[in-house]
Structure 1
């Protein structure tokens, strides 16, 4: 969006038509309220950016189908010019006409018409340039079908619009819906507007509305409509004195028959503008972030370079985008309803006075419908930015232009830098509501994202702190590595040809996150359908599984006006975290995933694992929806956003840690209950503290050796990215699957063998790295980000003496277990108790013995127990085994 600069934020309100409560749609579900339909259609208006159009910012839905629209606003309009009673010069008329037509033509290219063009909706900025307001009202209301008031002003409506009459969906007397107005409708309205400028007075102002409409319809009998209007208003002499090109323009605009009336595009190229068009540069839409075109800023240096040095009193805030200003205004305490109430636009009444009808016991009703004159208040209220500017007055100018390569701090210095530094340590939900903090973070991310992909590493670095909600959609795309011309790729996919999956998609969408107004709107359903279908069609080797809609929801919500980006993010997310989950037969993938998850529970919380296994409450009963939808099926969107902010920084094993963290929040209840109670508990999952879940997930992630979550059905190796949790967890910065395979890597294990082992296996290379082993012996360097580890060698004392890992302890298997793996003495007593809490790696030359030993440690609630894959034999060729010196 463009900067706010000299513009203001304005808000206006109207009511959508109310629907009957006892009527359902063809699918058996309640009808979608008209206000939600309007809210969905409104979203595309936020992307319509042109110098001649007021930028739409937001729409808010209130009680009783009330909608409040926020948009760019200016106090000055052509209405003020008319109130002065002066006639405009011919040059002014031509310039206004050309600029209005520029805006109308741009709207027409996007399939829209204004229909509410009037003097009060043609605003003027400080330079006198035209800004068309309320141009989206006709589009967002579905050509007026979703409201009970007509769109447009009687004096400016074209004859063909008046001839159609008014239409209201609730009125059963109308059999056919009027055809939507076309671009030529606005040309007539422009002609009336220009006539008023030339005449210096309002058209048909003192005539009753019904007579006014009849008069316009009767103009079809006249040969020269401009002359007739001039005679009617007593300004014939003034009109006759106009230059011929202005008169020609008026006649072309005020052509009665639409078939003979030009469109805005045709009129822009008309010779009447020969002396005007050369003064204007054609508008070029800025190149989007993800495209094949080169992006560059259009920079112009002033003649005096000192002009670049701004004074302290300069308004840096006004240089920010309009949507940023509105977002910060809301954070600073802005309340739309309160602003409109203070101006008298919204008037509070007792609830009994707002009831349109009173129904008695016998079913007889009294009263009357709502007065339609109160359904739309055309007044636009200017939103005061004083409170926001007060809140940000201490932010220094340097904060608006941060140095991206400054390694000292990611927070710009300001008068309140200490306060900002302390804000970083506050809970995320508080940081997201802090106006000053969000300003700093939004500015920083805005600059980094504009430099993407060249500043990709810095995006990762800052995302580890937090991601501002306003830029989350683009930040996620950067974290997922989206690049290239995504729009062209998306458009090349056939999303219209019927496929067998269509029926299931149609059934799933009306049940997916429908508490959200945006996703529950008809536009939301259409976009859902297109993105899901694009994914299914472009991945023929995979199939649509229930839950894919939930997986799509966060990406669609954040990129509602950019289906291509939602599709691209989803297509990058699934291979990374859900590789082959959507195969037609995914049982082997799911079973391996759940088995590794069971081992993670045993690794981090053996007591809980033992209890769940005893009562038979296995992950198959509750965890499949978790992982198949990456928790989007079980958590609302606002929690998913915070969860995925961190998930996208981790590798494909991070979801295991999230699952364990969720179980640990429910730990006390799970340990106290049996199978039936646990089933009931998960059928309606209790409230989960997401911030705590994220914090504990990171801790679990840092304690998990990366090879412990190895899966042979995970995504094949790819170029490793810089995606970890910073310097405290560099050891886990990439997927184990992405590392080059060596003789020391983990070997694939049959599913039945994997299920037979309670504890996970780790690779020999993992053990070597964790123990800091080298050919010269253990090093003394600090193990940054690595968990403390102890190797437990369960071979016989003789084998142990022939060679072992430096620092390992020997607890022979035969001293604790008999020939049939029967427990003789608990191996967890004595020496091993001193190492409780460390990662315990069980080493043997017989894998079955290692699995039995590790399983017993888990049974006696020893955490972080794992097994060395391949046993001691994997380490013998390395030359890293230590042989004790002989005793003299």
Structure 2
């Protein structure tokens, strides 16, 4: 998106054709409303950025198939010349013709034609340069098939368009739709516009519509259409005085037969523009964030950086991208339908310029210093308010105009510096991610780099494969409440991205749920299938490694077993109840984890959930699952098996912000090796878990760490299922013990260490060597044969340890002690993998000095 600068934001509205309510498609589903189809096709228009085209910004649906389109707008247009009867100079005619052709050529390269050229759709900016408006109307309406009005104006339509007549799909008298107009159609319309500029008057305005069309069709018998038009409108002398190159341009544009009429590309290379073309620099598409080309910014900074924002009258907001300004206008309370209603206009372009909350934002806000170690929030007249805003709920922050402006500017700079500023992207994402840049921010968090477009294009997405049928069945059921994803264009893109993933991962298969997993990436990158595919391809191995194997039962079962242990670790009372009634994770959690909750929650909740999920490692989904259960805790504890099944068949409303907050807390209390899975992604370089060292002392994903003698050992699935509590590695225990002894900052509010190591060996074995700081509670001293706690001093030690991580240490792997603790509702219980024997080679065991 280019800067707003001297442009305005304009809006126009129209109605899509209504479909009959009692008709279904061949698949038995209701027909997709035409307004939804238009909304889907519109999306590609937002990506077309060219100096000669008015930038499209947004589209919204109203009642009764109404559509409102927002786009770049200028007050001046060619119709101003026509209204004032001004004759344009030959130089001006050639300049405007060349600029219009530049815009048309760019459209043609993207498979589009204008078809609605007229004086009021050729706008002029403050420098008098051409900006084509409404150039996407013909494309978004499927060549006019989805609306009840014709696309184009009879005075400017080419003869071949007139000859086809009007057409509507519901018209029973027409079996075959006319062929879509081609690039040469716009050349004729341009010729009429140029003729009017030269003549200083409108053509064919004083005769009725039928006579007007009849006259245009009879032009096919004439040798010199320009002369005939000039005689018809009494301006022959004016036309004859035009320079030869202008006359030749008019004749070429107004060639009756399409086969002999040039295209916009042909005309741009024609000798009639020899004196004009040298004045223009060929348009170069800006380098995208993910490509093989180098990106750089050409900056001119003053010697004294403090002088940068001294001009109080400078309109900093106009330098921001058009879509940013519109987004902020909406946050400030802008309402498109209300604007149109207040103006008493339907098909017009009212200016959108109300941004009252942003007038007092200081210039420094537009130039944040990325290396400033202090707050990332810039100093402004309301800096205190902004600092306070960070502490407000996310949904409020996302609706705060000034806060979003500052966050958008900051992320815009960080993403433009990606991957160099990748660490800062992670840091700021921990605060929040502005919705406007969420797609690119997620890509940065997933580490996407390189020429993703070339890779995506190299994948065969057209050759039929066996999976096609299942994809076709799944797509019409995937998040179809969303207008964008339910549009035909959405279905096409869904199909292409899913098929690209299946084809490029021959070792994996398509499982139902993959479509739901794709939905958030496709929604955020609707006009960039390559980025949606790249994000999905990076996301799956990180969080769902080998979930899509042909036989994934062992992977799923291990995952669900670890999840069961996480429930017992964090909420033993709930775990005991669910186990007693037989309500195991296999009955409800497979769709959660196979789709990373996208099958469970609507997209707007997934966005907030994944903003945090992408900062965590592969174990974070376990914490999300436990947090969901804890929100339903009271109802689950009060119900039996059948009631729980009914509860999960229609999951109650989940407070997603609370879920995220509690997930982070659960994650911070989970030792990193407790979620070890032998079927997880192979080790990579260890790194920050995304929440920062200030958030947790469990600093990285255990799956990413290199294996050592003190690491967790793989365990057979049957043995893993036999254990209620998770195991932790010896290296994890060593780290935790060191941290607990490091000082008061590593202790709980009561001043107690966050961990207690309970050695359940006999007192004699304990005296031969034990972990420093561990307590000795022999197995038989605290539990009766029926598993109840016995009142004794050791029991008091255990009771005082509630709330801390309890690590059970024994000779080998007797998990009965840990299971008994869970049974009597002790939380955060885990077992040392390998027992005390794992630590004997470390030299860390303490032997008490003999008493004298």
**Aligning the two structures, in what range does the TM-score lie when normalised by the shorter sequence?**
over 0.9
Deviation at 1:881, TM superposition (A): 1.2
Looking at structure 1, the residues matched to 434 and 35 of structure 2 have their Cα atoms a distance apart, in angstroms, of 28
| CA offset digits 1:30-59 (Å, max 9, x no partner) | 000000000000000000000000000000
Q: 1:858 to 1:27 in 2, by over 3 A?
A: same
SS in 2 for 1:290: coil
Q: 1:124 to 1:25 in 2, by over 3 A?
A: same
| CA offset digits 1:581-611 (Å, max 9, x no partner) | 0000000000000000000000000000000
What is aligned with 2:20? 20
C-alpha contact (below 8 Å) 2:10/2:352 kept by paired residues: no
Q: 1:784 to 1:515 in 2, by over 3 A?
A: farther
Q: 1:651 to 1:632 in 2, by over 3 A?
A: same
Q: 1:30 to 1:211 in 2, by over 3 A?
A: same
SS in 1 for 2:360: coil
Deviation at 1:732, TM superposition (A): 3.1
Q: Which moved more, 1:735-744 or 1:38-47?
A: 735-744
What is aligned with 2:591? 625
| CA offset digits 1:692-745 (Å, max 9, x no partner) | 000000000000000000000000011234342123235334210111111111
Q: Which moved more, 1:691-700 or 1:726-735?
A: 726-735
What is aligned with 1:370? none
Looking at structure 2, the residues matched to 845 and 355 of structure 1 have their Cα atoms a distance apart, in angstroms, of 70
| CA offset digits 1:209-247 (Å, max 9, x no partner) | 111111111111111100010001100000000000000
Q: 1:352 to 1:820 in 2, by over 3 A?
A: closer
Looking at structure 2, the residues matched to 451 and 353 of structure 1 have their Cα atoms a distance apart, in angstroms, of 31
Q: 1:778 to 1:231 in 2, by over 3 A?
A: closer
SS in 2 for 1:6: coil
Deviation at 1:346, TM superposition (A): 4.6
Q: Which moved more, 1:247-256 or 1:782-791?
A: 782-791
Looking at structure 1, the residues matched to 450 and 684 of structure 2 have their Cα atoms a distance apart, in angstroms, of 19
Looking at structure 1, the residues matched to 44 and 348 of structure 2 have their Cα atoms a distance apart, in angstroms, of 32
Q: Which moved more, 1:46-55 or 1:825-834?
A: 825-834
| CA offset digits 1:308-334 (Å, max 9, x no partner) | 665111000000000000000000010
C-alpha contact (below 8 Å) 1:770/1:787 kept by paired residues: no
SS in 2 for 1:131: strand
C-alpha contact (below 8 Å) 1:545/1:582 kept by paired residues: yes
Looking at structure 1, the residues matched to 198 and 260 of structure 2 have their Cα atoms a distance apart, in angstroms, of 23
SS in 2 for 1:732: coil
Deviation at 1:92, TM superposition (A): 0.3
| TM-score (structure 1 length as normaliser) | 0.92
Looking at structure 1, the residues matched to 420 and 545 of structure 2 have their Cα atoms a distance apart, in angstroms, of 28
| CA offset digits 1:568-587 (Å, max 9, x no partner) | 00000000000000000000
C-alpha contact (below 8 Å) 2:245/2:272 kept by paired residues: yes
Q: Which runs of 5+ in 1 are unaligned?
A: 357-390
1:870 counterpart (824, 834, 838): 834
Q: 1:354 to 1:3 in 2, by over 3 A?
A: closer
Q: 1:538 to 1:532 in 2, by over 3 A?
A: same
SS in 2 for 1:800: helix
Deviation at 1:343, TM superposition (A): 1.3
After TM superposition, which residue ranges in structure 1, 4 or more long, deviate above 6 angstroms? Answer: 300-309, 347-356, 773-787, 818-828
Q: Which moved more, 1:783-792 or 1:509-518?
A: 783-792
| CA offset digits 1:73-131 (Å, max 9, x no partner) | 00000001111112110000000000000000000000000000001000000000000
Looking at structure 2, the residues matched to 776 and 439 of structure 1 have their Cα atoms a distance apart, in angstroms, of 42
C-alpha contact (below 8 Å) 1:398/1:413 kept by paired residues: yes
Deviation at 1:822, TM superposition (A): 10
1:403 counterpart (365, 369, 385): 369
Q: Which moved more, 1:532-541 or 1:814-823?
A: 814-823
Deviation at 1:786, TM superposition (A): 12
Q: Which runs of 5+ in 2 are unaligned?
A: none
Deviation at 1:559, TM superposition (A): 0.1
Q: 1:785 to 1:171 in 2, by over 3 A?
A: farther
| CA offset digits 1:336-389 (Å, max 9, x no partner) | 000111111259999999999xxxxxxxxxxxxxxxxxxxxxxxxxxxxxxxxx
Q: 1:256 to 1:580 in 2, by over 3 A?
A: same
C-alpha contact (below 8 Å) 2:40/2:489 kept by paired residues: yes
Looking at structure 1, the residues matched to 37 and 456 of structure 2 have their Cα atoms a distance apart, in angstroms, of 25
Looking at structure 2, the residues matched to 535 and 607 of structure 1 have their Cα atoms a distance apart, in angstroms, of 42
Deviation at 1:887, TM superposition (A): 2.1
Q: 1:352 to 1:876 in 2, by over 3 A?
A: closer
C-alpha contact (below 8 Å) 2:53/2:131 kept by paired residues: yes
Deviation at 1:885, TM superposition (A): 2.1
The number of residue pairs the alignment matches comes to 852
Q: Which moved more, 1:185-194 or 1:782-791?
A: 782-791
Deviation at 1:187, TM superposition (A): 0.2
C-alpha contact (below 8 Å) 1:772/1:778 kept by paired residues: no
- The CA RMSD measured in Å over matched residues stands at 3.9
SS in 2 for 1:727: coil
SS in 2 for 1:823: coil
| TM-score (structure 2 length as normaliser) | 0.96
Looking at structure 2, the residues matched to 306 and 254 of structure 1 have their Cα atoms a distance apart, in angstroms, of 58
Deviation at 1:60, TM superposition (A): 0.5
Q: 1:450 to 1:85 in 2, by over 3 A?
A: same
C-alpha contact (below 8 Å) 1:703/1:786 kept by paired residues: no
| CA offset digits 1:616-664 (Å, max 9, x no partner) | 0000000000000000000000000000000000000000000000000
What is aligned with 1:822? 788
Q: 1:355 to 1:63 in 2, by over 3 A?
A: farther
Deviation at 1:302, TM superposition (A): 10
Looking at structure 1, the residues matched to 545 and 145 of structure 2 have their Cα atoms a distance apart, in angstroms, of 45
Deviation at 1:203, TM superposition (A): 0.6
